[in-house]
Amino acid sequence: PTVGVKRTLLFEALGQTFTEEAFDELCFEFGLELDEVVTETNDEGKEEVVYKLDIGANRYDLLCLEGLVRALLVFQGKLVAPQYSLTKPAQLEQLILDPSVIAVRPHVIGAVLRGVTFNKARYNSFIDLQDKLHMNLARKRTLASVGTHDLDTIKGPFRYMAKPPTEIKFK
């Protein structure tokens, strides 16, 4: 897939600026291709430079600005690769799989991410990443889908079921 990243946000997150040629060289050394550089008009009517990067099909971690920046900083030796760990919380959440969903989603997993704080830009980036995963890895949601919910606003147990669209009502 091709991913567009705003140059100003990219350089700010990397903590340095590059010429177009220098950034193209960094991408090449890392194994990416700077496909094109375009100018787009943002929501405020201002023009901004966007780098279009060709991302390998097996690098889902690079489909968002945050993942791309982390990978480039690790590659440059400016950041230690993060180590993630699975921990058991004091209170477990329960996900109940209704028999109606078996034919549609025979496998279901759930995860709770704690300590995640979003500002508007990061939230938009996260939702954009989720959409890219739906379109690419999940093949337009035919193989999988991702739901994201704020546990501060909802309470379990959570029930996953399949219904005809006309019968779906959100509370």
Helix (H, G, I), strand (E, B) or coil at 159: strand
Amino acid sitting at position 162: A
Q: Which residue has the tokens 């390998």?
A: 56
- Strands 33-41 and 47-54, by their bridges, are antiparallel
| Distance from C-alpha of 132 to C-alpha of 136, rounded to nearest angstrom | 6
Query: Could you tell me which of 150, 134, 133 has the C-alpha nearest to residue 142?
Result: 134
Residue range 133-170, pLDDT digits in tens: 888 777 887 778 888 888 888 899 998 888 888 998 87
Instruction: Report whether 9 contacts 65 (CB < 8 A).
Output: yes
| Distance from C-alpha of 4 to C-alpha of 16, rounded to nearest angstrom | 19
Helix (H, G, I), strand (E, B) or coil at 55: coil
Amino acid sitting at position 4: G
Residue range 54-91, pLDDT digits in tens: 998 889 899 999 999 999 999 999 999 999 888 888 88
pTM for this predicted structure = 0.79
